[in-house]
Amino acid sequence: MDQIHDIRFRFYEKGENVSQIAEALRLDWRTVRKYIDQNDFNEPVPKPAVDKKFCPKLDPYKAVIDSWLIDDKSAPRKQRHTAKRVFHRLLAEVPGFDCSYRTVAAYYAVKHREIFKQNKQAYLPLVHQPGEAQVDFGTADFYENGRKLTGKYLEVSFPHSNKGYLQLFYGENMECLLEGLDAIFRHIGCVPKELWFDNTKVIVTEIIRGGGRKLTDKFERFREHYNFKAVFMNPGAGHEKGNVENKVGYQRRNFMVPVPRFLSLSDYNRQLLSKCEDDSHRGHYRYDETIEERFQADLKASYELPVIAFDLTGHQTLKADNWAKVYLNQRQHAYSVAPKYAQCPVHLVLTSAMVIIQDENFREIVRHRRLYGDTKQEQMDWLPYLKQLSLRPRALKYTGIYELMPESMQTYLATCSNSEVGQILKLLSELTDRTGFDSAVNTVDHAITHQVRDADSLSNLYRRLYSDIPELPAMTLPPGIPKMTPMQPNLTAYDMLLQGKGINGYVG
C-alpha cells in the first residue's frame, strides 16, 4: 500500500506524469496507470478453498471421508483422523483408490473446518545427546473384549533419533509407570542413561527450593536398580521435553485411530511395540537417515539391563472393615476380602491390572481387577461370603452381607423357609464358583419368575440356562415297519375296573 500511495501522491499532488513516475519508481507504466485509475480499495473478498466442483476424482470417496470425520466427533480429540491417516486408510481399505495425498489433504482441510475448530501449536526443534529419553503419559480410549475404557499410555521417546515406544494401561500410577518402563527397557535390551520426567505426584512428593526433588521411595529404588539419571522439568515448563510431547500425539494419531479394539491388553501392548519398530524405518524429519539408523547411537550410549529382576508391584497393609472390605484411592474403590477377615489386617499386592489380597502369612485370599477413576466403585468376590453364610444361614440377616446382596436375591431369600435358606446359599456358592456371581443372580431372577423356592428347582433352572446340553435329533424309523394305529383309551371302562365291577358289568 505504501507504493500505491507514493504513485498516487506523485500524480495527484506533485503533478508528475505516468512516464516520470514509472522511471522514478522503476515500474512498468501499465502498473502506474492501473493504480492511478483505481477507485476501489476495499480488501478483496477471500475465495472459498474448495468449490462444489473441486477434485471430481475424489467424489466417489468423499462420503467415506465424511463418515470417518463425523465418527471422530464421538472420539477423544487426540484420537481423531489427520489428513495423512485418512489417506493411508483409503489406500488400505478402499479398493481402487488412486487419488494423491495432496488432493485428500486439500479436501480434508475444508471438511475438517466444517466440523471441528483447529488449534495448532508449533514446537521448536531441540538437540539432545544419544542415550537420553523423555517420559510422559497420554490419554486414549480403547475397547477391551467389547468394553469401552478410557486409559493412559506411557510414552518413552529418544530425542536424538526420534524413536518412541508406548505401552497402554488402565490408568496412571506407580505400577503403570514402572511396568511400562521395564517392558520398554527389556524390549530394547538396555536402559537409557538419562530419563526426563514431569513433576508428577506419582514420582515427586515435594519440589524443594533451589531445584531439588523429594521422590517416592519406590521410584528411588527403581532408579538406583536400573542405574539411570532422572531429570525433572521446571514446573509448568512441559515444552522442555517437547520431543515426547510430539510423540504422544503422533503415536496416538497413527496407532490409535480408529479407536483400537482387542481382547487382551497384554497382547495389544506387544503389538504396539512391533508397530513402533515398523514405524522407525521411515526417514528422520531433519537428518538424511532413518530413525532406526540414528537409534543405534542411542543404544550404544545406554546401560546394560540389571541382572536381578526388580519387584514392580506395590505393597500395602490395610485393616478390613466390618464387612471385610478394604479401600484404595482415598476410599473411592472398595475390594472384598472374606467374612472371616473382618477387622483383621491384610496384605495387598498391587499391579497395574490386579489387586491381590493376602493374609498375615502372605497366602492369597482373593484377587480382583484393579479399579480406576474418581467415582465410587466396588469389586466383590461373593464366593467366600456365600460359603460362610451357607454354614450359618440363620445369621444371614444379621451379618450386614444381606444388605450388600442384589435386591432380587434379597427378595428371593426372604420367601424361603429357614431350612431352605442354607441349601440355597450352598447351591448359590457352587453356581458362583462355576460361572460367576452374575449367573447365580440371573438364575434367582428366573426362579422368582417361575415362583419356585427349593434348591432342586433352582439347580434345574441353572442347568437350563448355562449347561451345554445337546439337543437330540428326532428318531427316524427304518423302512418296512408298518404304521400302527394309535389305541384310543377307554377311560370309562378303566373307572369301572377300579370300582371292582369289571368290564360290561361283570367282575373278573
Contact 386, 432 (CB under 8 A): yes
Lowest mean pLDDT among 202-206, 289-293, 370-374, 462-466: 462-466
Confidence of residue 50 (pLDDT cuts 50, 70, 90): very low
Q: How many angstroms separate the CA atoms of 184 and 177, rounded?
A: 11
231 located within any domain: yes
**pLDDT grade, residue 399 (50/70/90)?**
low
Last residue of a domain, one of 330, 349, 380: 380
Work out the mean pLDDT of the chain and round it to a whole number.
84
| Residue 388 cell numbers, joined | 460362610
Tell me the mean pLDDT in the region 204-221: 84
Confidence of residue 196 (pLDDT cuts 50, 70, 90): very high
Q: Kindly state whether residue 139 falls inside one of the protein's structural domains.
A: yes
pLDDT top residue among 328 and 52:
328
Report, as an integer, the average pLDDT of 91-99.
89
The proportion of the chain whose per-residue pLDDT surpasses 90, expressed as a percent, equals: 39
Q: Which cell numbers hold the place of 274?
A: 512391533
Q: Which domain holds residue 361?
A: 314-380
Whether omega before 258 lies within 30 degrees of 0, making that bond cis, reads yes
Per-residue pLDDT at 49: 45
Most confident listed range (11-20, 216-225, 434-443): 216-225
User: Once rounded to an integer, what is the mean pLDDT over residues 121-137?
Assistant: 75
Residues 346, 411 within the same domain: no
The answer for residues whose C-beta is within 8 angstroms of residue 250's C-beta and 6 or more apart is 164
Does residue 474 sit within a domain? no
Give me the long-range contacts of 264-267 (CB less than 8 A, separation at least 24): 264/144, 264/145, 265/144, 265/168, 265/169, 265/170, 265/353
Same domain for 292 and 208: yes
Pair 270, 206 in one domain: yes
Judged on CB neighbours under 10 Å (0-12, 13-18, 19+), 337 is buried
Alpha carbon distance 128, 96 (integer Å): 44
Give the SS3 label for residue 206: strand
**282 and 181 within one domain:** yes
Cα–Cα distance, 342 to 169 (Å, whole number)? 32
Whether the Cβ atoms of residue 61 and residue 89 lie closer than 8 Å to each other: no
SS3 call for 151: strand
**Domain identity same for 102 and 216:** no
Shared domain for 141 and 262, answered yes or no, is yes
> Would 166 be classed as within a structural domain?
yes
Q: Give a yes or no: residue 48 inside a domain.
A: no
**Statement: residue 505 has pLDDT above 80:** no
Question: How many domains does one find in the chain?
Answer: 5
Q: Are strands 333-336 and 325-328 parallel, antiparallel or unpaired?
A: antiparallel
Task: Please give the average per-residue pLDDT across 153-173, as a whole number.
Answer: 95
Q: Which of 394, 404, 391 is nearest to 323 (CA)?
A: 404
Q: For 219-278, what is each residue's pLDDT tens digit?
A: 989 999 998 999 988 765 555 678 899 999 999 999 999 999 999 999 999 999 999 999
Answer with the one of 239, 266, 300 that is the final residue of a domain: 300
Task: Specify the higher pLDDT residue, 407 or 348.
Answer: 348
Provide the pLDDT confidence category of residue 84 given band limits of 50, 70 and 90: very high
Highest average pLDDT, of 325-334, 386-395, 397-406, comes from 325-334
Lowest mean pLDDT among 85-94, 220-229, 376-385, 464-473: 464-473
Residue 389 and residue 375 share a domain: no
Q: How confident is the model at residue 53 (pLDDT cuts 50, 70, 90)?
A: low
Distance CA 316, CA 347 (A): 6
Q: Which secondary structure element, helix H or strand E, spans residue 43, and what is its range?
A: none
Q: Which of 219, 247, 237 is nearest to 137 (CA)?
A: 247
Phi, psi (deg, nearest 5) at residue 319:
-105, 125
Rounded to an integer, what distance in angstroms lies between the CA atom of residue 470 and that of residue 475?
A: 15
* 62 and 152, same domain (yes or no): no
**Judging by beta carbons within 10 Å of its beta carbon (0-12, 13-18, 19+), is residue 258 exposed, middle or buried?**
middle
Residues in the chain: 508
Q: What is the pLDDT of residue 43?
A: 60
Does the residue 79 lie in any domain?
Answer: yes
Confidence of residue 316 (pLDDT cuts 50, 70, 90): very high
Same domain, 74 and 215: no
Residue 282 C-alpha cell reads as 521411515
In three-state secondary structure terms, 476 is coil
76 exposure class (CB count in 10 Å sphere: 0-12, 13-18, 19+): middle
> What CATH number does the domain containing 159 carry?
3.30.420.10
Q: Is the pLDDT of residue 178 over 70?
A: yes
* Higher-confidence position of 400 and 233: 233
Percent of the chain with pLDDT over 70: 88
CA dist., res. 56 & res. 107, Å (int): 11
Top-confidence residue, 47 or 253 = 253
Set of cell numbers at residue 507: 367282575
Position 120 pLDDT exceeds 90: no
pLDDT tens across 339-394, in order? 888 899 999 999 999 999 999 999 999 999 999 988 999 888 877 777 777 777 77
pLDDT band at 440 (very low <50, low <70, confident <90, very high): confident
Non-local (6+) Cβ contacts of 24 within 8 A are: 10, 16
Confidence (pLDDT) at 332 = 92
Do 295 and 417 belong together in one domain? Answer: no
DSSP three-state, residue 349: strand
- Which segment, 104-108, 167-171, 436-440, is predicted with the most confidence on average? 167-171
- Tell me: do 388 and 415 sit in the same domain: yes
More confident of the two residues 468 and 338: 338
pLDDT at 172 exceeding the cut of 50: yes
Confidence of residue 44 (pLDDT cuts 50, 70, 90): low
For residue 181, pLDDT beyond 80: yes
Task: Name the domain boundary from 271, 300, 329.
Answer: 300
In a domain? residue 101: yes
Residues 273 and 136 reside in one and the same domain? yes
Task: Answer yes or no: is 207 within a domain.
Answer: yes
Instruction: Give the per-residue pLDDT at 420.
Output: 80
pLDDT band at residue 4, thresholds of 50, 70 and 90? Answer: confident
List, for residues 277-294, the tens digit of each pLDDT value.
999 999 998 889 999 999
